[in-house]
Amino acid sequence: MNLTSKDISGDFPDSNKIYLNNASVSLMPTQSIEDMKEFLISYNSIGPDSKDSEPFVTEKLQNVRKIISKIISCQPDEVVLTQSTTDGINFVANGLSFDDKSNIIIRGMGHEHHANYYPWIQLKDKISIKNLNIDKNGLFKLDDLESLVDQNTKLVALSHALYNTGSILPIEEIVKILDDKIPFFIDSAQTVGCIGEMDVSKIKCNFMSFNGSKWLCGPMGTGLFYCNRKSSELLKPMTIGGESAIIYDETNLAFKELPDKFQTGFRNYVGIVGLESSARYLMNFGLNNIRQKNQYLSNLFREELSKIPDIILYGPDDPNQRTSIVSFNLKGHDSQEIVDRLEKQNIILAVREIMEQKIIRASPHFFNTESEMLQVIDEIKKL
């Protein structure tokens, strides 16, 4: 079967809305919601703090680490469970050691998502922040990166794909410049589950953060932090507790091994169950099949938009250089007003920004359909 045309919308809760804001929070498969419900019933029946509850919960934690490790091609113990992309970013920003000569390199400053911008800017009184200049799509010249790297560069921190234009950064080319000498952090919130199979051993990043509630179709409050086993030595945990460390005399502590080193307190067990179920659903569909369908839907939407007079499109023309995000504006119309008007027609888009410019962002996912794309186009034509 051609999965590009396969309609799986029936596997998601029925709604009269056309939901195209998956780059923010995606819908969850019905099976994930049912699995979360079943977990809560079982967990309470066992007794949340009983002898039998520990192996029950441990199995759930192991299951989600196993499937996420398959999705990004790493070892299960390199997957740290968090509640958001932001958590992982702060693990790195606040866990690295710096001296007064240290610098880090980021991209685009105000063009970057706040989660991958503010934690680095907060370090400006301690270290030098070097900025990569960008073009209209948010991309930069590799030569510029190479010229900024020096012996005092402690980290390069970049988004894998951009939340506003959908541009995908050339990560493979970037790692060649860094050559395993400079630690590399990637915010992959806009790529994992969206752009096909990923392999961190080929990307060669030291750290990567993403969440479960965007393209992985998991519940809110679930996040993942990939920490290369060797690179974990570079980070000091932000928080500490009995789950993450051991005390070997009255005043001395030793951190546990990954992933426990970065995990204190209880986890969002029910959310983790939902995330594992959603990830399993995506794996069954096929990550590369998801990429193919997402490209088909976004290309169709972008092509039909281009036929409308006064439409302005943002992002690369080459579909292989962008995610399924389609960003646009309509001359003479306010972006927020358009999004509000479409929501009254049960069409969910989002307003985002490219620097100071407000834009409209559509972000279809693999459960969306061709007919939905065309319905949205028809409504835009009526504006």
Are 257 and 331 within one domain? Answer: no
Supply the CATH number for residue 55's domain: 3.40.640.10
Dump pLDDT digits (tens) for 328-383: 999 999 999 999 999 999 999 999 999 889 999 999 999 999 999 999 999 999 98
Residue 345 resides in a domain: yes
Same domain, residue pair 256 and 319: no
Query: Does the predicted model carry a pTM greater than 0.85?
Result: yes
CA separation (Å) from 22 to 55, 122, 197, 266, 367?
34, 29, 18, 28, 10
End of a domain among 228, 255, 284?
A: 284
Chain segment 281-294, per-residue pLDDT in tens = 999 999 999 999 99
- Which H/E stretch holds residue 270? helix 269-285
Residue 211 falls within a domain, yes or no? yes
Supply the pLDDT for residue 104. Answer: 98
Query: What pLDDT shows up at residue 375?
Result: 98
Q: Does the pLDDT value for residue 15 go beyond 90?
A: no
Query: Pseudo-torsion of CA 254, 256, 262, 267, nearest 10°?
Result: -120
> Is the same domain home to 193 and 208?
yes
Convert the pLDDT of each residue in 177-210 to its tens digit.
999 899 999 999 999 999 999 999 999 999 999 9
Query: How does DSSP classify residue 250?
Result: S
| Mean predicted lDDT score pLDDT of the chain | 96
Is residue 220 domain-shared with residue 311, that is, in the same domain?
Answer: no
Mean pLDDT of 100-117: 94
Q: Examine the domain organization and report whether 290 and 141 are in the same domain.
A: no
- Both 72 and 201 in one domain: the answer is yes
pLDDT-based confidence at 5, cuts 50/70/90?
confident
Domain match, 40 and 97 both: yes
Query: Which residue, of 250, 284, 318, is where some domain finishes?
Result: 284
Residue 1 lies in a domain: no
In a domain, 186, yes or no: yes
pLDDT in tens, 232-253: 999 999 899 988 999 888 888 9
What DSSP state is assigned to residue 81? E
Determine, yes or no, domain membership for 330. Answer: yes
Q: Is there a single domain that holds both residue 164 and residue 296?
A: no
Tell me, yes or no, whether 266 and 323 share the same domain: no
Q: Which has the closest alpha carbon to 328: 356, 348, 345, 308?
A: 308
Let me know whether 278 and 174 are in one domain.
yes
Q: Is the pLDDT of residue 1 over 70?
A: no
Question: Can you give the residue range of the structural domain that contains 297?
Answer: 9-28+286-381
Residue 4 lies in a domain: no
pLDDT at position 313 over 90:
yes
Q: Is residue 240 part of a domain?
A: yes
Confidence of residue 266 (pLDDT cuts 50, 70, 90): confident
- Taking a C-beta distance cutoff of 8 angstroms, is the pair 202, 168 a contact? no
Q: Which of 284, 304, 321 is the last residue of a domain?
A: 284
Task: Specify the DSSP class assigned to residue 257.
Answer: P
Domain holding 363: CATH number?
Answer: 3.90.1150.10
- Domain membership of residue 2 (yes or no) is no
Same domain flag for 111 and 88: yes
Amino acid letter, residue 122: Q
Do 365 and 259 belong to one domain? no
State the total domains in the chain: 2
pLDDT band at 14 (very low <50, low <70, confident <90, very high): confident
